[in-house]
Amino acid sequence: MSREKLKLKDLLGGIKPDNEDGRIEDVAIIGAGVMGQGIAHSISAAGLDVLIIEKNDKHLKSAQDLLSANLKREISRWAMTESEMKSILSRIKWSLEIEDVKNADIIIESVEENFQLKRLIFKKLDEIAKPHTIFVSNTSTLSLTKISEITNRSDKIIGMHFLNPVPKVPLVELIRGMDTSDKTVQIAKEFAAKIKKTAVEVYEYPGFVTTRAIVPLLNEAMYILLEGVASADDIDTAMRLGYNFQLGPLEMADSMGLDEVLTWMEQLWGTLGEPRYRPCPILRKLVRERKLGKKVGEGFFKYNSEGKKIS
């Protein structure tokens, strides 16, 4: 009996509880918007299981339909096979219950850029998740340090700022909070590599690199349009052909979502107080009219159901 107990003890001693060695096998995403869907697509395509949590049936069904439509569009472009689409979808699970994330090794928050909302989500996740689970925020402008203060695991909280469209942009910004541990950073780097993203480390600062650099360009293009210097189409053509941009700045803003772009500008304007971040009035007008870009079919330009510019 004692020998059996000893063997059992030895076996148990060799098991690291709660995946303490940092392996990432199960991933959960909070929020199934455009970014959440794109992140899930990239993770699943890398062969990992991913669970997406949404707040209600309407948003969940809409996200499922949109993700399927995007994958079918890739098939029509010969960029993906039907079997690849089925494989990707088979690894993505959906739920309305946040408690279902309890077994995840890493949880990615991808909700709207609202500081209080993100804090509430992280507080709830801290109560549910395993002690060694890493929390990731996809924030583009907010302080990871301040968000993490609501939890008991600030060393395991890191920012991973993905860019849209996530499956096609091979970059992710890694943002270390004041208390983020070296181990958490290393695990996040390895996770980024596994899902085929190049990780760029940046210091915590409003806008990081990509948002801070692109927002003034978008804003200036909008002011050029407002001042009547050139038409929207000619502004974008000039920047695409003149600087080898894939998209002109106004169509780029439409792709990002004009409400999101406005939020970024307001965050940077309020935090840094520099005029280059003050939102152009034409952007405020479009958002007020709910002309939010490609996701609704109209912004600076009009788009068809597949997101292609028609005028």
What is the per-residue pLDDT across 10-45, written as a single tens digit (0 to 9) for each? 444 444 445 566 678 899 999 999 999 999 999 999
Whole-number pLDDT of residue 137: 96
52-105 pLDDT, tens digit each: 999 999 999 999 999 999 999 899 889 899 999 999 999 999 999 999 999 999
Q: What is the pLDDT of residue 127?
A: 96
pLDDT at residue 306 is higher than 90: no
pLDDT at 8 over 50: no
| pLDDT tens digits, 112-128 | 989 999 999 999 999 99
pLDDT for res 19: 53
For residue 258, is pLDDT > 60? Answer: yes
Report residue 308's pLDDT band, with 50, 70 and 90 as the boundaries: confident
Given a cut of 90, whether residue 5 has pLDDT beyond it is no
Q: CA 135, 145, 170: angle at the middle one, nearest 5?
A: 55
What would the pLDDT profile of 198-231 be if each residue is shown by its tens digit?
A: 999 998 888 899 999 999 999 999 999 999 999 9
In this prediction, residue 21 carries a pLDDT of: 62
Average pLDDT score over residue span 227-247: 97
Residue 17: predicted pLDDT: 47
SS3 for 30?
A: strand
Domains of the chain, residue spans: 21-203, 211-288
CATH class entry, domain 211-288: mainly alpha
Question: Percent of the chain scored above 70 by pLDDT?
Answer: 93
What pLDDT sits at residue 211?
A: 94
Mean pLDDT of 228-248: 97
What is the per-residue pLDDT for 299?
98
Rg (CA), the chain: 21
Pick the CATH number of 21-203 from 3.40.50.620, 3.30.700.30, 3.40.50.720, 3.40.120.10: 3.40.50.720
Give the residue-averaged pLDDT of 156-185.
Answer: 95
At residue 20, the pLDDT reads: 62
All residues at 6 or more sequence positions from 210 whose CB lies less than 8 Å from its CB, including other chains: 140, 161, 163, 171, 173
CA distances 101 to 27, 28, 115, 124, 233, Å, are 8, 6, 21, 11, 45
What values do phi and psi take at 53, rounded to 5? Answer: -105, 130
The pLDDT of residue 141 is: 87
Query: Which is nearest to 101 in space by CA: 71, 134, 77?
Result: 134
Residue 305's pLDDT is what?
82
Mean predicted confidence (pLDDT) in 158-164: 94
The model's confidence at residue 4, banded by pLDDT at 50, 70 and 90, is very low
- Average confidence score pLDDT of the chain: 91
Residue position matching structure tokens 């910004």: 173
Q: Residue type at 18?
A: D
Residue 279 to residue 262: CA distance in whole angstroms: 7
